[in-house]
Amino acid sequence: MRAALRVVGELGVTAGLVLLMFCAYLLWGTASYTERHQRILQEQLDQELDQRKRKKDARGIELGRALALLSIPRLGADYKYAIVEGVDPESLRKGPGHYPGTAMPGQVGNFVISGHRTTYAAPFNRLNELRRGDDIVVDTRDARFTYRVIRKEVVVPTQLSVVAPVPQHPARRPSQALITLATCHPEYSARQRLIVYGVLVVREDRRT
């Protein structure tokens, strides 16, 4: 009996260590993956913003490639993430992803971005801290777009109307340039989605 209990105890300790290592990987291992890709993506954006090498329409960007640079002053001066094209699992491991088919930065309609909240560097971990009136800045190779937060809400994952050109009103025709940031809610759960909406207030074109 003692031998059996000792074996069970050892197995329990081993299982606990494996679980602890897995949790550590989710929190820190995945973050290093995203940080590595973010360095590459942001370097690509810097080259395009400074040298303006490519002139093709942003719609031609491949899935997983950098589309724009996202910064949110409320979350700190160092908060900067390259937005990738696509919301498939592979794209979102690299950083916040633009929902294909929704508006592009600055366009009338809904520019939708999704991002992880707890793993892969957790770019949207502090999205809940945003308040009405906060700025959301998006830099592309052609212009800087400043959106202003207008509201937040929590929805179920199946509520896909948040990505409509007019959020929650799929039948309406858009008349404003909007931005929608989406992430899991609550933290460490995918039971719901936290949604932050903003409206474009300033466009600053870059000099050619």
Residue 52 has pLDDT above 70, yes or no: no
Residue 61 has pLDDT above 70, yes or no: yes
* 169 included as an active-site residue: no
On average, the pLDDT of the chain sits at: 84
Residue 27 has pLDDT above 80, yes or no: no
Go through the domains of the chain in sequence order and give each one's CATH number: 2-205 (2.40.260.10)
> pLDDT for 68-101, tens place per residue?
999 999 999 999 999 999 999 999 999 999 999 9
| Prediction pTM value | 0.78
pLDDT given at position 14:
55
Q: How far apart are CA 190 and CA 155, in angstroms?
A: 11
Report residue 53's pLDDT band, with 50, 70 and 90 as the boundaries: very low
pLDDT given at position 155:
97
User: In the predicted model, what is the mean pLDDT of residues 33-41?
Assistant: 74
Give, in order, the Cα–Cα distances in Å from 141 to each of 46, 110, 111, 158, 187: 9, 20, 16, 34, 33
> pLDDT for 144-172, tens place per residue?
999 999 999 999 999 999 999 999 999 99
pLDDT given at position 28:
54
| Catalytic residue chosen out of the listed positions 37, 93, 141, 193 | 193
pLDDT given at position 206:
86
User: In the predicted model, what is the mean pLDDT of residues 138-144?
Assistant: 94
DSSP secondary structure string for all residues of the chain: -HHHHHHHHHHHHHHHHHHHHHHHIIIIIHHHHHHHHHHHHHHHHHHHHHH----S-GGGPPTTSEEEEEE-GGG-TT-EEEEEE--SHHHHHHS-EE-TTSPPTTSSEEEEEE--SSSTT-TTTTGGG--TT-EEEEE-SSEEEEEEEEEEEEE-TT-GGGGSSSTT-TTSPP-SEEEEEEEEESTT--SEEEEEEEEEEEEEEPP-
Give the other-Cβ count within 10 Å of 148's Cβ. 16
| Catalytic residue chosen out of the listed positions 93, 116, 117, 144 | 116
Residue 5 has pLDDT above 70, yes or no: no
* 193 included as an active-site residue: yes
Specify the higher pLDDT residue, 38 or 143.
Answer: 143
| Catalytic residue chosen out of the listed positions 37, 144, 184, 185 | 184
pLDDT given at position 58:
46
pLDDT given at position 62:
82
pLDDT given at position 193:
97
pLDDT given at position 36:
72
